[in-house]
Amino acid sequence: MLKLEGLTARGLNAIDLTLADGECLVVRGASGAGKTVLLRAIADLDENGGDAETSHVRRSQVSAPRWRRDVAYVPAEPGWWADTVGAHLTPGRHCTALLHDLGLTEDCLTWQIARLSTGERQRLALIRALEAEPSVLLLDEPTSALDAAATDAVERVIRRRLDGGVTAVIVSHDAGQAHRLATRVGDVADGQLTVTAAGSQP
């Protein structure tokens, strides 16, 4: 569950929205409309107003790190703080399973971050975020650099999380992706987020 209560951020009007467990909101809009601003505001990464809540925590009542462990934001261009892939992950059964699900193997743990392709980075950043088992996923164009097969794998992983009760907000330019994953669709224009049920929009 993700509940936004009068959430405001730079250039965005106040947003009141409740997404139930397992719901997926796909956000669309022109470049610069404020889609990323919205995700960052929910994750509390920039100054913003209002409050938010998940099934576990209320944002105003917990520290920001505690909030972000339950609400995982994966940026379009993720950052890396060590040289190898393995240093960013917690090797173990959970990690191995996630790697396999996304078409990677444990071999990649020794790879140099600098030599990864954009698509590999996107998938590894998703794995990194999923390891902590957050209840809300905020994904900024998670498949923009992936081919059809890898996109399929990422969507399957997201789908399984949704089925398990995770709530997701996904920024995507891929109309097919909205069709496949969204339970609701949000359009950002002129600082306004307009949310409609999936399938009802043209």
Partner 1 sequence: MTYISLSTADLALASLLIVANGILSLLLGLKLERTLAISMARMVVQLTLVGFILNLIFDLASPLWTGLIALVMVLFAGVEVVARQERKLSTVVSYGLGASAMTFSSVVVTVLALTTQIGPDPWYDPQYAIPLLGMILGNSMTGIALGLNTLTTGMYRDRAAIEAQLCLGATRWQASGPVTRSAMRTGMMPMINAMAAAGVVSLPGMMTGQILAGVPPTEAVRYQILIMFLIVGATGLGVLMTVYGGLIKLTDSRDRLRLDRLQRADDE
Q: How far is the CB of 147 from partner 1 (least distance, A)?
A: 24
Strand partners, 185: 26, 196
Pick 66 or 179: Cβ nearer partner 1: 66
Residues 6+ apart with CB under 8 A from 161: 130, 137, 168
For residues 131 and 94, is the Cβ–Cβ distance under 8 A?
A: yes
Told to check if 90 binds partner 1 by CB under 8 A, we report no
Told to check if 78 binds partner 1 by CB under 8 A, we report yes
Interacting residues with partner 1 between 9 and 48 (CB under 8 A): 43-47
Q: What distance in Å separates the CA atoms of residue 84 and residue 69, rounded to the nearest whole number?
A: 23
CA neighbours closer than 13 Å in the CB half-sphere of residue 13: 9
Pick 16 or 133: Cβ nearer partner 1: 133
Among 30, 97, 132, 197, binds partner 1 (CB under 8 A): 132
Strand partners, 4: 17, 52
Q: How far is the CB of 55 from partner 1 (least distance, A)?
A: 17
Told to check if 72 binds partner 1 by CB under 8 A, we report yes
Count of residues that interact with partner 1, criterion CB under 8 A: 24
